[in-house]
Structure formats: structure tokens, C-alpha cells
Structure 1
Amino acid sequence: MISIKRGKVIKILSKSQEKTKLIVAINGKEEKAFNYNLMTGEVSVGDEVVLNTTAIELNLGTGGYHFVLYNLDNKIVPLEEEGHIMKLRYTPLQLKVFAAEEQDHPNHHKFLAFESLNNLPVIVGSLHSMLTPIAATLKYINPRIKITYIMTDAAALPIYFSDTVDQLKEKGIIDHTITIGHAFGGDLETVNIYNGLIAAKEITHCDIAIVTMGPGIVGTGTPYGFTGIEQGQILDAVEDLGGAAIAVPRISFSDERERHYGISHHSLTVFSKIAKTSFKIILPFLEADKKKVLYEQLEYLNIHRKHTIIEEDGSILSKVLDYFGLSVKTMGRGFKDDVAFFLACSAAAVHSCDLLKNHNRK
């Protein structure tokens, strides 16, 4: 069930082509709301809107926003002619996209002619908060590198919801975006991760691809009940298509939950149980006592025998963030609050740049 309420737009906080952040009045109370302009049309101060208020009423967060379902002041969004692939299928908000692999799309033939990713480095993370430290480190090391971000449908579905993506594109750090599955709003749309990877190579012609879910993650505290489990399937897809899969482990020594201490049970499950192929797992340089914890976890599950464990120095990240004027946060913790988490992301980027450099020499 969803909770639906009626409100009135009383203030526009910010606006872009894709989204508008609003203040709405609901029963005399002022609250924040999101309007996706390309889905529900433009909104103006004074408009009466219908809102999905479910997440806030359940204290789930979702950025602290309600979401506009419909503008009662009859702001109609015209249906574009191109495209026949539906996302959010068979829901009241199903929408049409022009997927890159559709028969009528000008790039359709590239999927038919595809043979291999030819060792394209693909960095696969499990949280959206990994995107900034990975992408920014890549661009800092090599300003000419072309980066494509592939956003999965394991968390937020509209890429518009991500202020991170907006910021990285504005700063020229990310060059292209692709949304797969039921995620939507990228520069390109594809129906699954395989064609998302193919599109990254054959259409965007990127040097490196980064794959993570959008903002948010579902977790239940059970061994397999988390949406980040997709990381294993994505890593396998990269290897299946002839790419060079680089796994970013979720590492923290600041998370108070035991299951996320050291290498999170999410990553340990993915690397030991879910992934069927072998790939590189990048660890950051850490103090001896913390390094010991990580290797004990990996060795206990024989992950070190299944995959290649590589240590890299991710300490460049502080310079990277200062250079680009960026900040990072995961689970409410900033860089200094959860150093190991962010160094793992930067270390994966450092290794990927070295891998790309060596590949180009051949």
C-alpha cells in the first residue's frame, strides 16, 4: 500500500531540467517534496499536487522528501514518439524509454556486432556513495580518461534523484551515464547489465566504466537479504563479456554494526557465495591491525583462493577531494569518520588507472 496526500506548492527550492525540489503545504504543515519534471510535468508555486508520502511516514528517509504523483493543475507531459520499452512496468507510473538496443534505435546494430569488452576495466561497487571517490580519483590521475557510470535498479530508480551524479557531470568527472533494468533517466537506457556494459564500450567509447546502484540500499540483516548482492552478478557479467572486473569491497572500522565491521558481510557474501567467476578485489593500504582483520576475514572464507587480492595506496583521495571541491559521505559518515571505506574506493581507481595504462601499452 502507498500513502497518498494532497498538498500545495508554496516554494521552489531548486530546479533543473529533470527535477524540482519543492516546499509543499500538507494540512498546514510545510514539508519537502520532489517533482520529476519529465514524468509528472512542470510545477509552479500555487499548484495543487498529489503526493506519495509513504517513506516519510514510515521514517524511511529517502532524502526526507515526498514525491509528486500528479499535478492537479493539469500540467500534461507530452508522450515522445520514439521508444517502446517500458520501465516500472505494469505500475501506475510505468514510463516509456527509447532503449539503446531497440530495433529502431540507431545503435541497435552495435549490440548485434558485439564480440568482447576487450579487457575494458569495469569497477563494480555496492553503494552509491562509492561513486564520487572512484570517479574523482580516476579523473584526477588522468584528466583525459573517459568515464561512463552505469546505474543499476537496486536502489533509487530515477538517476535524477542523485545529486552526486549531477555534481560529477557538472564538473566533467563523469562523461556519460547509462541506466539499466528499471532504473531510468541516464544518457542511455538499456534493459539489463549485459547491454549496459556493451553500450558503455561500443556507444560511449569509455576508457573505464563504474557500476553501482543509485542512492539508497535495501538490507534486512539476513545473509542474502540485501540489494547489494547484485555486485556478484555484475562482476560475473563483466567477466562473461571479456572485461576486467575490479571489485570494491565495502570496508569500515567505524560502523557500529558487527556485521559491517572490517569487510562487510555484504561483500564477504558476494565474493564467497554469489560470484561464480574470479576477479580482482582491491584493498587499501591500512594500519597493520586493520589489515590483519581484513585478511582473517578473507582467509576464513577462502576468498583469497578464489579471487586475486591486491593492495593499493588510496591515500591520494584527500588531494582529489580538495582539487575538485568535493565531499563524500556514506551512512552519514564523512571521509574522516570512515577513512577505510573511502580509501578502498580510491584504491580501486588507482589500480584501474594502472591497468588501463598497461593495457594501452600493448
Structure 2
Amino acid sequence: MMSIKRGNVVRILDKLDGRTDVLVNVNGKLEKAINYDFLTGQIHKNHEIILNTTAVDLNLGTGGYHFVIYNLNNEDEQMKQGGHIMKMRYTPFQIKVFAAEEQESPYHELFNGFKSLNNMPVIIGTLHSMLAPISATLKYLNPDVKIAFIMTDGAALPIYLSNSVQELRVKNIIDVTITLGHAFGGDYEVINIYNGLIAAKEVCKCDVAIVTMGPGIVGTGTKFGFTGIEQGNIIDAVNDLGGIPISVPRITFRDKRARHYGISHHSITTLGMISKTRSHIVIPLFSTEKNKIIEKQIIDGNLADKHHIINVRENVLLKALNRYDLGVKSMGRDLNEDPEFFITCSSAAMYAHTLIKEESID
């Protein structure tokens, strides 16, 4: 069960799109909390609130924030009109959204009439931290490219939690957001990955889509026990719909866990066993020693037999990050501490850019 405490709002710390960060007095101690305005309404100083403190009590990675369950000063919040699709169904927190594909939607017939993604590149990551280097590289290479971010429900459900998405939207790097499954808060809500991809192409008219979960991947140290395994199913969905799946492998030489050294076991399992169809895997060229480790992992995992392996030598990531004044971090490590991880993400974007250029020439 969850850990619940009562508190009083002392100060508004930050007001973001769909989210308000507050400082709360909890039993005489000042603690931070996140209020999702879409769920629990507007929040102000001196409001009395009920908090879910479970993650902080367990010292989990939520940035030290509690989450507002209920605002005792907002007793009569009314639902907005339109839509009947429930997310987080049959829980005390179920919410109604207006899904892009439902019958009353002006886009309903676009989904019924859909035929193909027509080779739209779809970059499929596993960690949310892949989003910034991928999207920044795409926009650096072509400022006019229209990018959709499709967020799955493999981790955080509210898109509002992502500071990265907030920043990428403000800087006009990501053009549109789509949330699927039980994830919510995107510009467009959809039921599943298939309609998420169709929405990116037909509703949003995007040139490229990036698919990752929100912040907070779950892993157990077992072969199949991690939420990033969804990458395999997404590859198949992209192929089913006539797109070009570009898989981003998780590569690092800074993780102390042997199972994540070089190409992570997450990527080897997902790309080697879970995906049933072919994707494009972009591998940057590093030092000779690191390249040999990666080459052996590709051979041992039979990845080259199943997928197209593309090697990329050059990289523009640092230029892209500097242009947009962006910092990147994954698992607590920044670009200097884990360059291979972020360069791999950027290389996938560089390859996608070549496909977009070829499509525009045709």
C-alpha cells in the first residue's frame, strides 16, 4: 500500500505546463511535492493537501518529491467536456481523456482511412534520457524538421513529470507530444502505439517520430524483467505500419554493472529475441578497443543476422547541445561522464536525418 501524509503548502516553488512544484510543511518538516494540475486542480499557498510519500520514504529516484493525491481546498472540481477514454482505469486516480481516435474526435476517420507511414523514420529508444540528444541532433541538422515525441506508459505516466520535455518544448525542439496507453498529458492522447504512430503521421503531419517511455525505467536484473523490453514490440509495430524503425541501443562503458557494459543486456535481449522484424541499429565508431567489444556483442547476440547495422563515424552532438544550450544526463552521468551513451543517441538521429533527406529528394 502507499504511504500517505497530510501537509500544508508553504510556498509555490515552480509553475510548469500542467504541473506545480510546491514546498509543503509535513509534520513540521519542509518537503517538496509535485501537484499535477490536470489531476488535482490548481494549488496555492496555505492549501491543505494529502500526499503520497511512498517513493521518498523508500529512497527511490523521484528527485525527493512527494505527490499530491488530493487538495482539500478543491472540493468541487468539474470534468472538462469531451472524450470518454479512461486512463489509469479502475484505480482511485482514473482520469478521462479525449483520445484522438475516438468516435467524436475530428480525427476519427483519419485513423480509419490510414494506409501507410510511407517510410517515416521512427527512432525507438528505451530510456527517457535518450530523447534530448536525439531531438536536438535532428533539429540541429534540419531546423524545419517536424518532430513528434510519442511517450509510452513503460515508466512515468504523466508527461508533465519530464523536465526534459518541458525544456524541449520551450526551445521548439519537439513540435508535438503524444501519450499512449495509460500515459497522459500529451498534445494528443491515443490508446496504443499503432494509433500513436498514425497520429504522428496523419494528424500531426510530422517528418519523424521519437518513441521512448517517460522518466523512470524499471529493471530487476533479470533477463526479461525491464520495461525497456517494449522496444521490441514497437519495432514490429513500425514495420507493420510501413515505417522505418531505427533502434537506439543502450551503450555505455561507464556503468559498473557488467550486464550494462558495452551494449546493455537490455538491448541485446530486446533486439535479439523480442523484436520479430528487422530494424536499423546505428552504432557509432569509438576507440578500437571499444569497437571490438561492441562487435563481439553484436556477433554473440546474432544482431547482424536480424537487423541492419549502420556504422556512423562523425558526430554533431556537442554542436547541437551548444546551439540549444542543452545539458544531458542519464543515470546521473552527463556527456563528459558517459559520452558513448549520448553519442549513440545522436548517431541514430543523424541516420534518420539522411532518410528524411532522401524522402524529400524523391
**Retained in 2: the 8 A contact 1:39–1:77?**
no
Q: Structure 2 stretches of 5 or more lacking a match?
A: none
**Structure 2 partner of 1:40:** 40
Q: For residues 332-359 of structure 1, what are the alpha-carbon distances to aligned partners after superposition, in whole Å with 9 as ceiling and x for unaligned?
A: 0000100000000000000000011112
**Structure 1 partner of 2:338:** 338
**Structure 1 partner of 2:299:** 299
Matched, 1:23 2:13: no
* Separation of aligned partners in 2, 1:247 and 1:58: 33
Which aligned runs of 4 or more in structure 1 are off by greater than 6 angstroms?
none
**Retained in 1: the 8 A contact 2:48–2:71?**
yes
Matched, 1:101 2:101: yes
* Separation of aligned partners in 2, 1:258 and 1:8: 45
Q: For residues 296-320 of structure 1, what are the alpha-carbon distances to aligned partners after superposition, in whole Å with 9 as ceiling and x for unaligned?
A: 0010121111111001135211111
- Output the TM-score relative to the length of structure 1: 0.99
After TM superposition, list the pairs within 5 Å mapping 1:93-132 onto structure 2: 93-132=93-132
- Output the TM-score relative to the length of structure 2: 0.99
* Separation of aligned partners in 2, 1:314 and 1:86: 46
* Separation of aligned partners in 2, 1:71 and 1:284: 49
* Separation of aligned partners in 2, 1:343 and 1:76: 49
User: 1:337 is paired with a residue of what secondary structure?
Assistant: coil
* Separation of aligned partners in 1, 2:333 and 2:46: 37
Matched, 1:160 2:160: yes
Alpha-carbon offset, residue 229 of structure 1: 0.2
From the superposition, tell whether residues 314 and 76 of structure 1 become closer, same or farther in structure 2 (CA, over 3 Å). Answer: farther
**Retained in 1: the 8 A contact 2:129–2:329?**
yes
* Separation of aligned partners in 2, 1:23 and 1:230: 36
* Separation of aligned partners in 1, 2:313 and 2:141: 13
* Separation of aligned partners in 2, 1:193 and 1:13: 35
* Separation of aligned partners in 1, 2:111 and 2:160: 26
Matched, 1:242 2:242: yes
**Structure 2 partner of 1:71:** 71
Alpha-carbon offset, residue 360 of structure 1: 1.7
**Structure 2 partner of 1:273:** 273
**Structure 2 partner of 1:315:** 315
User: 2:336 is paired with a residue of what secondary structure?
Assistant: helix
* Separation of aligned partners in 1, 2:5 and 2:190: 33
Alpha-carbon offset, residue 17 of structure 1: 4.2
**Structure 2 partner of 1:207:** 207
* Separation of aligned partners in 1, 2:3 and 2:45: 23
**Structure 2 partner of 1:3:** 3
**Retained in 2: the 8 A contact 1:314–1:345?**
no
User: 1:77 is paired with a residue of what secondary structure?
Assistant: coil
From the superposition, tell whether residues 281 and 109 of structure 1 become closer, same or farther in structure 2 (CA, over 3 Å). Answer: same
**Retained in 2: the 8 A contact 1:280–1:308?**
yes
**Could you say what the CA RMSD is over the residues aligned between the two structures, in angstroms?**
0.8
Alpha-carbon offset, residue 285 of structure 1: 1.9
**Retained in 1: the 8 A contact 2:132–2:164?**
yes
Matched, 1:227 2:227: yes
User: 2:24 is paired with a residue of what secondary structure?
Assistant: strand
User: 2:112 is paired with a residue of what secondary structure?
Assistant: helix
Alpha-carbon offset, residue 361 of structure 1: 1.5
**Retained in 2: the 8 A contact 1:24–1:33?**
yes
* Separation of aligned partners in 2, 1:244 and 1:187: 24
- Which amino acid is 1:265 matched to? H
Alpha-carbon offset, residue 63 of structure 1: 2.1
Q: For residues 249-271 of structure 1, what are the alpha-carbon distances to aligned partners after superposition, in whole Å with 9 as ceiling and x for unaligned?
A: 00000000000000000000001
User: 1:122 is paired with a residue of what secondary structure?
Assistant: strand
**Retained in 2: the 8 A contact 1:314–1:346?**
no
**Structure 2 partner of 1:142:** 142
**Retained in 1: the 8 A contact 2:248–2:282?**
yes
Q: For residues 166-217 of structure 1, what are the alpha-carbon distances to aligned partners after superposition, in whole Å with 9 as ceiling and x for unaligned?
A: 1001100000000000000000000000000000000000000000000110
Instruction: Count how many residue pairs are aligned between Structure 1 and Structure 2.
Output: 362
User: 1:336 is paired with a residue of what secondary structure?
Assistant: coil
Alpha-carbon offset, residue 76 of structure 1: 3.7
- Which amino acid is 2:94 matched to? Q
Q: Which shifted more, 38-47 or 73-82? A: 73-82
**Retained in 2: the 8 A contact 1:282–1:311?**
yes
* Separation of aligned partners in 1, 2:222 and 2:314: 31
Over the matched positions of the two proteins, sequence identity in percent amounts to 58
- Which amino acid is 1:340 matched to? E
- Which amino acid is 2:50 matched to? V
**Retained in 1: the 8 A contact 2:6–2:51?**
yes
**Structure 2 partner of 1:175:** 175
Alpha-carbon offset, residue 74 of structure 1: 2.7
- Which amino acid is 1:276 matched to? K
**Retained in 1: the 8 A contact 2:119–2:244?**
yes
Q: Structure 1 stretches of 5 or more lacking a match?
A: none
